[in-house]
Structure 1
Amino acid sequence: MSEYTLDQFARFIDHTNLHADATPSDMGKLCAEARQYHFKMVAINQVQTKFCANLLQGTDIHTGAAISFPFGQTTIAAKLFETKDAIENGADEIDYVINITELRNKNYAYLEKEMQTIVTACHSKNILCKVIFENSYLTKAEIQKMAEIARDVQPDFIKTATGFGPSGANLADVRLMKQTVGEHVKVKAAGGIRNSDDFLAMLAAGAERIGTSSGIKIIDALKQRMTLDHLTTIQVPRDN
Structure 2
Amino acid sequence: MRKAQHMTSAYDPTERQPISSLSDITAADIASRVDHTLLKPEASAGAIDQLCAEAREHGFASVCVNGVWVARAAEALAGSDVLVCTVVGFPLGASTPEAKAWEAREAIRNGAQEIDMVVDIAAARAGDRPTMEH
| TM-score of the two chains, using structure 2 as the length reference | 0.78
Give the Cα–Cα distance (whole angstroms) in 1 for the partners of residues 94 and 123 of structure 2: 9
Structure 1: 5+ residue stretches without partners: 114-240
Q: Which has the higher strand share?
A: 1
Q: Does 1:10 align with 2:3?
A: no
Once the 2 structures are TM-superposed, how far is the Cα of residue 109 of structure 1 from its aligned partner?
3.2
Query: For the residues of structure 2 that align with 1:7 and 1:106, how far apart are their CA atoms?
Result: 40
- Deviation of 1:43 after TM superposition, in Å, equals 1.0
Cα distance in 2, alignment partners of residues 44 and 101 from structure 1: 24
Question: 1:90 maps to what in 2?
Answer: 111
* Mapped pair 1:21 → 2:26: no
Gaps of 5+ in 2: 1-19
Deviation at 1:59, TM superposition (A): 0.8
Check if 1:30 corresponds to 2:84: no
2:100 alignment partner, one of 40, 54, 79 = 79
Equivalent residue number for residue 84 of structure 2 = 63
SS of the counterpart of 1:70?
A: coil
How many residue pairs end up in the alignment? 113
Provide the alpha-carbon RMSD of the alignment: 1.4
Task: Report the structure, 1 or 2, having the larger helix content.
Answer: 1
Match of 1:45 among 50, 66, 90: 66
What TM-score, normalized to structure 1?
Answer: 0.45
The percentage of aligned residue pairs carrying the same residue is: 36
